[in-house]
Amino acid sequence: MKIAVCIKQVPDTASILKLKNESLQLDRDAAENVMNELDEYAVEAALQLAEQNEGSTVTVVSMGPEKTGETIRKALSMGVDDGLHLTDPLLSGADAFVTSYALAHLLKERHFDLIMFGAGSTDSGMSVIPSMVAEQLGLPQLTSVRTITLDGTYVSAERVTDSYTGTVTASMPAVASVVEKANEPRYPSFKGIMAAKKKPVEVLSAHDAGLFPELNSLCMVVDAAPLPPKPAGTVITDDGTAATKIADYLSEQKFI
């Protein structure tokens, strides 16, 4: 069983995000970059499946600049077997169309049985890449997965959304996107961190991967503005009437 997990390196959500003045692309060098938190649940789910199915392997796949290798190594230190890193200046600022096309092309060549994603990314929040990759590969997709099991050539998943909980089944190969309710991602052990240094990571350019060099994004940012500052809060000084003022304020805001 060959399992792939697509992961993304994103700016830490605690960082102050900035845009590049010329291109209006996210300035990833201005913030600390980490593995997309939602992808960690997909990595953990894949590792659990591999542990339950003897002979299975887990490969992480990521597209991004050279420093994305740090995030790939973190996945390897969690227990993933190997990594695949697509990196090329031609892919800088790629939109969802280009990203999904590149990932689908890369994944198709390696014939994975199950391709897993996190439910979305914390930088863009679009949550469309899993569906777009599944469509381009012509594979069934299981979305909003909380639990997942394998049975021969079939994969079954419990889907959980705000309005639905149920079980779906698909034949493999298939694509699955995992929600944060699925598990508790493991922490890399010291042994895992040391072992990760020796695990193989294949690094490919767009040319190496057989992608068209003229591949261009269909979407672009044409304008952007910083978030307006938050309005000052209401300060109530206790002069003996503070309780009444607080009650009046809560009533005005329709909290009571």
Tens digits of residue pLDDT in 23-52: 667 777 767 889 999 999 999 999 999 999
Domain assignments of the chain as residue spans, ordered by start: 2-204
pLDDT of residue 213: 61
Measure the CA angle with vertex 137, ends 133 and 140; round to 5°. Answer: 85
pLDDT of residue 162: 83
By DSSP bridging, strand 82-86 and strand 114-118 are unpaired
Counting as low any pLDDT under 70, the low residues of the chain are: 22-24, 30, 213-215
Q: In terms of Cα–Cα distance, which of 3, 109, 123, 6 is closest to 63? A: 6
Q: What is the mean pLDDT of the chain?
A: 89
CATH number of 2-204, picked from 3.40.50.720, 3.40.1280.10, 3.40.50.620, 2.40.30.10:
3.40.50.620
